[in-house]
Amino acid sequence: MSILIVDDNATNLKLVAYLMSAKGHEVHTALDADTALAMVREHAPKLILMDLQMPGVDGLELTRTLKRDPATASIVIIAVTAFAMKGDQERALAAGCDDYVTKPIDTRTLPDLVATHLARVEALS
């Protein structure tokens, strides 16, 4: 299934892209919100791994934009963020994120979390 990874840190982007590719997913990447929106239109991902803290339009605002649009509202969005302060998870979920993972990511559990969400998407199709 098609996955989009949005992160302004190229090292994080490369690591997560490698993890998802190794699990057989079609992976697309974006370093910013504008590129992410173009990738969503072009590739129609089923799931987005979304960094929340990016320059310009941040991941929370991009999530709100995607969830407001009926054409993209069903995309599963998992916040992948260094934010780990009290209330950050609640803000991410309130913005429309379907799940929340903190950095540094656990390379053993992230692929399983993604697989769980994609299985749910597939079951609803």
Pairing outcome for strands 47-50 and 26-30: unpaired
Domain 2-124 top-level CATH class: alpha beta
pLDDT tens digit sequence for 78-103 = 999 886 778 889 999 999 999 999 98
Residues 42-63 have pLDDT tens digits of 999 999 999 998 889 999 999 9
pTM above 0.85, yes or no: yes
Question: Kind and range of the H or E element at 29?
Answer: strand 26-30
